[in-house]
């Protein structure tokens, strides 16, 4: 008699956190900020700031305590078309399903994104130094939020992500996908949400 082997599917649901909040929790003793987005400040000099992002004079990293209606810009002064309140209000979850030893199905459900904004999902290593497209090729990890700023995207991941690795949601302020790279940090690519694999 032939036996049927049923694959065991294990799922894990995780909640994204704001990139700025995560960054600030790792840098105690300084005002909570988001080095990926910028606000106008006439007193700010051109400099290389947090996460190695160089910004033009007249702009500084957004503080999480800045007024919610403050408009956001890139490091080079290009308007992002959203306010700080909208930026930090983004939220979402990710479901990771272990389909086999060599394959994961990852579904991200996101809200509060920029209307019709272009985004990509990237995996990062335990030190948040190396980023790679979640799908491994940069072909299916980019998506566009709907008019209400929501999106659901599913990506097949092989090899599977492991503990201490994570997933980032990048907003592309130039409206373009960047393939194997997220793009220029703070200029065309702005890490908005992250989650670590426990």
3-state secondary structure 71-113: EEECCCCCEEEEEHHHHHCCEEEEEEEEEECCEEEEEEEEECC
Name 86's Cβ contacts closer than 8 Å, sequence gap at least 6.
112, 114
* pTM for the model: 0.91
Residues 131 and 93 in one domain: yes
Residues 80 and 105 in one domain: no
List, for residues 174-194, the tens digit of each pLDDT value.
999 999 999 999 999 999 999
List, for residues 103-134, the tens digit of each pLDDT value.
999 999 999 999 999 999 999 987 777 899 99
Dihedral angle over CA of 94, 95, 100, 104, nearest 10: -20
Q: Which pair of structure tokens corresponds to residue 174?
A: 């130039």
Residues 141 and 46 in one domain: no
Q: What is the pLDDT of residue 4?
A: 38
Closest CA to 193 of 163, 148, 149, 139: 149
Number of domains in the chain: 2
Residues 130-139 as b or e (16 or more Cβ within 10 Å = b): ebbbbbbebe
Is 26 inside any structural domain? no
Residues 60 and 149 in one domain: no
Q: What percent of the chain has pLDDT over 70?
A: 95
- Choose one of 59, 85, 111: the last residue of a domain: 85
Q: What is the pLDDT of residue 129?
A: 77
Residues 74 and 39 in one domain: yes
Is 109 inside any structural domain? yes
Q: What is the pLDDT of residue 29?
A: 78
Residues 70 and 115 in one domain: no
Domain of residue 71 covers 31-85
Where residue 115 sits, what CATH number does that domain have? Answer: 2.60.40.200
Residues 73 and 95 in one domain: no
Residue 7 has pLDDT above 90, yes or no: no
Is 1 inside any structural domain? no
Is 25 inside any structural domain? no
Residue 9: pLDDT band with limits 50, 70, 90: low
Range with the poorest average pLDDT among 7-16, 86-95, 136-145 = 7-16
In the block, tokens 């670590």 appear at: 196
């Amino acid at each position: 008699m032939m036996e049927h082997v049923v694959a065991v599917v294990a799922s894990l649901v995780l909640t994204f956190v704001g990139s700025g909040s995560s960054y600030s929790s790792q840098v105690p003793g300084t005002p909570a900020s988001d080095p990926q987005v910028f606000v106008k400040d006439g007193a700010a000099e051109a400099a290389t700031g947090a996460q190695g992002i160089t910004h033009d004079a007249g702009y500084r990293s957004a503080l999480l305590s800045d007024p919610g209606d403050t408009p956001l810009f890139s490091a080079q002064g290009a308007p992002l078309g959203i306010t700080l309140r909208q930026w930090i209000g983004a939220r979402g979850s990710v479901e990771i399903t272990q389909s086999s030893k060599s394959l994961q199905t990852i579904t991200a459900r996101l809200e509060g994104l920029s209307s019709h904004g272009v985004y990509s999902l990237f995996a990062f290593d335990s030190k948040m130094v190396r980023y790679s497209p979640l799908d491994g090729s940069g072909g299916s990890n980019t998506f566009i939020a709907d008019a209400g700023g929501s999106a659901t995207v599913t990506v097949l991941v092989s090899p599977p992500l492991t503990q201490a690795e994570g997933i980032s949601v990048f907003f592309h302020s130039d409206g373009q996908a960047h393939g194997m790279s997220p793009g220029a940090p703070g200029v065309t690519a702005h890490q908005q949400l992250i989650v670590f694999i426990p």
